Amino acid sequence: DAGITQSPRHKVTETGTPVTLRCHQTENHRYMYWYRQDPGHGLRLIHYSYGVKDTDKGEVSDGYSVSRSKTEDFLLTLESATSSQTSVYFCAISESGQGNSPLHFGNGTRLTVT
């Protein structure tokens, strides 16, 4: 398995509270991604990073922010969680971000917003 650790594995939180999910990699890959998985939608890209302090938005970025202060860590923050953000969140990494360097995924974080 690619060295990707997501924490926490599960989290239940209340509407309106801030939440931070962490992705840690030991592969020294340049590209890191946050996706959310919802039934009927597959995986949708929230944000991605192409280097330390270099990030960009994906297709469902509203309500989320990210930070990458070190190569190995990519944080996803929900500033004020809403029930629509109940989902499974996946972190992924890629050495080059190109198709010849496929994405490898962490084991996901199940977030429930009550």
Nearer to another protein, 16 or 44 (CB): 44
Among 55, 60, 108, 113, which residue interacts with another protein (rule: CB under 8 A)?
108
What minimum distance in Å lies between the beta carbon of 62 and another protein? Answer: 16
Residue length, the chain?
A: 114
The footprint of another protein on residues 35-54 (CB under 8 A) is 35, 40-45, 48, 50
Under the binding rule (CB under 8 A), the answer on residue 3 touching another protein is: no
∠ CA(30), CA(31), CA(36), 5° rounding?
Answer: 155
* Amino acid letter, residue 47: H
Q: What are phi and psi of 45, to 5 degrees?
A: -75, 130
Under the binding rule (CB under 8 A), the answer on residue 103 touching another protein is: yes
Look-up of token digits 């590209």: 31
What is the C-alpha separation between 33 and 107, in angstroms, rounded? Answer: 13
Interface positions with another protein (CB under 8 A): 31, 33, 35, 40-45, 48, 50, 58-59, 88, 90, 92, 94, 97-100, 102-105, 107-108
